Amino acid sequence: MEYRAHLETNTAFRYHWLVWQLTGIIQPRYFSTSLYRLYTVLVNILVTFLFPLTFVINVFFSKNLQQLCENLIITLCDITANLKFLNVFLVRKELQQIKIILECLDKRLNTEEEYRQLKRAIRTAQLSFCIFLVISTTGTTLSLFMVLYSEERSLLFPAWYGLDWQKNDLAYAVCFTYQLVALVVQAIQNVANDSYPPAYLIILTSHMRNLELRVRSVGLSPANNKENMFLSEKEQQLDFKKFNDCIEDFIQINRLYDLIQKILSKACLAQFICTALVQCVVGLHILYLLDESDDYGAQILSFIFFLAVTMEVFIICYFGHYMSAQSLALIDAFYECGWIPQTLAFRRNLIITLMRTQRYAILYAGSYIPVDLPTFLLLMKYAYSTFTLLLRFK
């Protein structure tokens, strides 16, 4: 059909690939290898390594518990973001393999409904990137306003630079400029880091849904969309070929799931650990230090980081849960397809496929923690329990 050539699933990740090219992970085409390697080294040393290092060192220079909490919140979030960025670099080969599998699955589109389903998923994946971009831009802009309206000279975030920037104009200009540039680069990195896990889950879920539609249509009459109990030999051959194509698609989707599991497992684990630690530190900050401090900017910043890390976990758990539910629906489709009037070879292939479908797809963080809504609720329960425990000791 004509619409097959006009839809490419990989367009859902074009913004992510652009960010990864700009930040030195994936080399663009027609770009000098030596120059790009030099560019990659400079960007990642000056930003990915040195920028979080200034936060880590500043933690050890905290003068009181309040500063320690504020510095820890920023440091934990930034280190987690860089670990997720490093994970993208380590799984870049798997990302290329995913592109090839998606190109193969795109060729399987048979109906207008499948086309609309996949097109809607691509738009949702692109929208997730735009939403995180707006959130990141808002956070960066808010930090700039806090500096502009601050009564004292300050930086965008508390950090250590080994210079007396509070009294020296030149030192302040250098530190502020470096932090602003590094913050913009890291903000772009974080947008891709936070949006590519739900984007890949959205696309995987969409291809599962399309395969479910194709499997359920096996053995159905095109005229009335009902199961035909009496099939001719030619119709049986057509259904057998259609079902074998579905099996091939199922194998490809399982490969796609395995690759997505590999690229997201460590990133999700890092996000879960970061969220738990930040929630504990923010709870300590609120209960013990909120009444003693008049630094409202730092308090607002703590709330923003708390909401940000919580929202990141919720989004990935939501789409992980949705993907698992679609995987169960796909399994049901194999059981409910029109297999009764089919040939013996058809039934044999169906039995083998049903044996493979006994385990439904579920994303795991660190190969142990399920990435779904019950896990998110459990994480919120632990956060509330910790908050209550701290409240009793206050």
- pLDDT tens track for 2-61: 444 467 899 999 999 999 999 888 888 878 888 999 999 999 998 889 999 999 998 888
Per-residue buried b or exposed e for 27-62, using 16+ beta carbons within 10 Å of the residue's own CB: beeeeeeeeeeebbeebbeebbeebbebbeebbeee
* Backbone phi, psi, residue 277, to 5°: -65, -45
Of 91-105, 162-176, 286-300, 309-323, which range is least confident? 286-300
Q: What is the mean pLDDT of the chain?
A: 85
User: Does residue 300 surpass a pLDDT of 90?
Assistant: no
* Backbone phi, psi, residue 217, to 5°: -80, -10
Q: Name which residue leads in pLDDT, 323 or 386.
A: 323
Q: Are 228 and 220 in contact (CB under 8 A)?
A: yes
Beta-bridge partners for 369: 365
In angstroms, the CA 331 to CA 340 distance is 17
Residue 131 burial (CB count, 10 A): 15
Strand duo 369-370 + 364-365: pairing: antiparallel
In angstroms, the CA 185 to CA 331 distance is 43
3-class state of residue 365 by DSSP: strand
Q: Name which residue leads in pLDDT, 221 or 91.
A: 91
* Backbone phi, psi, residue 37, to 5°: -65, -40
pLDDT band with cut points at 50, 70 and 90 for residue 1: very low
CA distances from 323 to 178, 230, 236, 317, 358 (A): 41, 36, 32, 10, 16
**This model's pTM is above 0.85:** yes
User: Does residue 291 surpass a pLDDT of 70?
Assistant: no
3-class state of residue 126 by DSSP: helix
Dihedral angle over CA of 241, 246, 251, 252, nearest 10: 110
